Amino acid sequence: MSAATEPLHVVLGAGPAGTTLAGELVRRGHAVRLVSRSAPENTVEGIQPFAADVSTADGALAAVAGASVIYHCVNVPYHRQVEVMPRIQCAVLAAAEVTGARLVVLDTLYPYGQTRGEVMTEDTPWRATSRKGRMRAQLDERYLEAHRAGRARVVLGRSADFVGPGVLNSTLGGAVFPAALGGGEILGLGDIDLPHSYTDIRDVAAGLATLGTRPEGDGRVWHLPTAPAVTTREIHAMIEERVGHQLQRVVLTEPRPFGPFDAEFMAEYAEMFYQHTEPQIVDSTAFERAFGIRPTPLDATLDATVEWYRALPAGSRS
């Protein structure tokens, strides 16, 4: 199949998830367009960068023109999510309906709300009480309703907190690895002796790319491949083994500014802090059985993450 006739996969959002996904799709031999408000720079060969504002109807339609599959990986500053994410959904879902392209949505665990340590599966009830959790649940119901009504073909892939190469703005990202390598203070949140799931960003990409080419998964939520949960204290010990010294740790028992997380972010994050005061355990067995993809072992994830941070210029690590 020539490049001119090969089905086009359009990735909306050029953050760590979108960028990693675009690279995964290219490795799988797909034609790929990567979209952000300003055309992404330094993309790998085979990725077409494209600039568009997908919070508008015209911008979303321009971004997905010619697409066979659309991947919605757009995120916005944390304090603007409740305002902006519904607008983006409206534009992107309408574009999928108009073009007939399948829509793969990267989702969060927020709709579940507090679980009191219950293992999260795709059958876990949606009990969110936070503003952002309720907003995400409402968006997800609209996606699934559009699919049930036959207006669009939609599938959702949920991820735990990101970790891995390219991930900076995560509780296991820029607030941990730069200081671990440089001898500074790393961040721990809440009760660091509770199990907490993290999803390797490369598994996020592999999972979404698989959903994009396996339409039998459409019309439902899937948990993307996620390694078994361990405690934050155990993760810190694993990082110590890789950096060769004991970590200096600051544990925040309530939200306050630290490192890359400023006061504005932490004020917005306060309603989600329950994620660090109860176990957060994600079960991705359903996805693994359906599609034959296993999560990357946590050892390998941490190896790759430490090496990626080591290769960063010191000024780019936070």
The CATH topology of domain 9-161+198-223 is: Rossmann fold (3.40.50)
Instruction: Pick one of 3.30.300.130, 3.90.25.10, 3.40.190.10, 3.40.1390.10 as the CATH number of 164-197+228-280+296-311.
Output: 3.90.25.10
3-state secondary structure of 67: strand
The 8-class DSSP code of residue 258 comes to B
Cα gap 126→193, rounded to integer Å: 26
pTM of the model: 0.95
Measured at the CA of 234, the angle between CA 229 and CA 238, to 5 degrees, comes to 110
Q: What is the pLDDT of residues 248-269, one digit of tens each?
A: 999 999 999 998 899 999 999 9
Residue 66, token pair as written in the block: 């010619």
Predicted pLDDT at 318 = 53
3-state secondary structure of 178: helix
3-state secondary structure of 120: strand
Predicted pLDDT at 5 = 63
Residue 185 and residue 35 in contact, taking contact as beta carbons nearer than 8 Å = no
Same fold yes or no, 9-161+198-223 and 164-197+228-280+296-311? no
Enumerate residue ranges in the chain where pLDDT < 50.
Answer: 1-4
The 8-class DSSP code of residue 227 comes to P
Predicted pLDDT at 302 = 98
Predicted pLDDT at 314 = 65
Give domain limits for the chain: 9-161+198-223, 164-197+228-280+296-311
Q: What is the pLDDT of residues 36-69, one digit of tens each?
A: 999 877 778 899 999 999 999 999 999 999 999 9
Beta carbons within 8 Å of 157's beta carbon, 6+ residues apart:
104, 105, 106, 107, 204, 207, 208, 211, 221, 222, 223, 224
